[in-house]
Amino acid sequence: MEFRQIVYFLEIANTGTFQKAATQLGLTQPALSRQIFLLEKELGVIVLERGGRSVRLTHEGEKFYQYSIRMKELWEEIQNGFAKENELKGNFSISAGGTVSAWILPQILKEILTKRKGLSLSVREGDASETKNSVLKGEVDLGILTGPIAEPSLNVIEFLSDQIYPVATKDHPIFLKKKIRIEDLKKQSVVFFHPGSALRKAVEKKIKSFSKEFGPNITMELRSVESVIKSLEAGLGIGFLSKYSMNQKLQKINFEDWNVERKFYLCYRKKSGPGLTMLAEEILRSTELWKSKKENSSLS
């Protein structure tokens, strides 16, 4: 049995006719029929029932179809396993939260796509729960999540560290105080992310560490980072943002004992094949380069 015969069989099964399959494979119909004849002779069973212009799988053909799919996938895995690093190619999808999608990934992916001409990447924005479920269900190839992550079916690699700052416009009354304390937040209107946001959960955990009875005066709950930033710039309250999404119109609120750090992790299914491992490694390399450029630009 030759592997090409398996490919031919799958093409016939998927197209439904010898004629269409021959056209797709670049063969003549008699040559294709000859290969299937030899395949059936070696197997000792009929796998395709001919009838008019179309064909259908026999009972034995249905069984062989499942084996063929597995053999084709194994062959692709073998090919990917021996691929060189500079041969990273294919279509991959990524899911991440708003901060990562808007302020971190664009420059990193641009760097990767400039070098990898055969690579195609798509990004889906989703909160922590949506991203995790998308990865587990196989709806996306790779997710970027806030840790810690305890999921035995996933490969988890540390990606980036982040700081979350309380912020407001530079002319906000809170900056008139000489010393700002956590209690001062009780008197402020807060522009918050929606409850499913990983950033919000991290902030709420920190606030509860000061006082379990203290709940911020939430006036807005928004899904996108851009919406939160625009609302803060309009002076609608104070908020909490990643250091990566800060801008010149907003100012960090400094007060005692506030230190909220979070770590982002690259996550993908363990049985995804070597292609995703190569992509994750490429993202990590490009992230280090991006961080180095940001640090150098801030010093200059």
Sequence-distant (≥ 6) Cβ neighbours of residue 243 within 8 angstroms: 162, 163, 164, 165
- Residue with the bigger pLDDT between 215 and 68: it is 68
pLDDT of 232 > 70? The answer is yes
User: Do the Cβ atoms of 146 and 128 come closer than 8 Å?
Assistant: yes
pLDDT of 86 > 60? The answer is no
Residue range 1-10, pLDDT digits in tens: 788 899 999 9
pLDDT of 83 > 70? The answer is no
Pairwise CA distance, residues 265 & 155, whole Å:
10
Q: Three-state DSSP class for 220?
A: strand
User: Do the Cβ atoms of 271 and 277 come closer than 8 Å?
Assistant: no
* pTM of the complete model: 0.65
Name the average pLDDT for the chain. Answer: 88
User: Do the Cβ atoms of 68 and 8 come closer than 8 Å?
Assistant: no
pLDDT of 65 > 70? The answer is yes
Q: What is the pLDDT of residue 108?
A: 93
Q: What is the pLDDT of residue 180?
A: 86
In the structure encoding, which two tokens stand for residue 147, read together? 């840790």
pLDDT of 118 > 80? The answer is yes
- Sorted by where each starts, the structural domains of the chain and their CATH numbers stand as 3-81 (1.10.10.10), 86-161+263-299 (3.40.190.10), 162-261 (3.40.190.10)
pLDDT of 298 > 60? The answer is no
User: What ranges in 127-268 are assigned the alpha helix state H?
Assistant: 128-136, 198-210, 225-233
Q: How would residue 81 be classed by pLDDT, with cut points 50, 70 and 90?
A: low
**Strand stretches in the chain, DSSP E:** 48-51, 54-57, 90-96, 119-125, 142-146, 154-169, 189-193, 217-222, 238-242, 250-252, 260-269
Question: What is the 3-state secondary structure of 105-134?
Answer: HHHHHHHHHHHCCCEEEEEEECCHHHHHHH
Please provide the size of the chain in residues.
300
Residue range 164-205, pLDDT digits in tens: 999 999 999 999 988 888 778 778 899 999 888 889 989 988
Q: How would residue 78 be classed by pLDDT, with cut points 50, 70 and 90?
A: confident
Unique residue bearing structure tokens 């998308």: 134
pLDDT of 85 > 60? The answer is no
Sequence-distant (≥ 6) Cβ neighbours of residue 180 within 8 angstroms: 174, 253, 254, 255
Instruction: Give mean pLDDT, residues 46-69.
Output: 89
Estimate the crossing angle of helix 59-81 against helix 3-15, to 10 degrees. Answer: 120
DSSP state of 255: B
Sequence-distant (≥ 6) Cβ neighbours of residue 52 within 8 angstroms: none
Does an H or E element contain 68, and which? Answer: helix 59-81
Which residues are 189's β-sheet partners?
A: 217
Unique residue bearing structure tokens 């996550």: 267
User: Among 15-19, 83-87, 293-297, whose mean pLDDT is lowest?
Assistant: 83-87
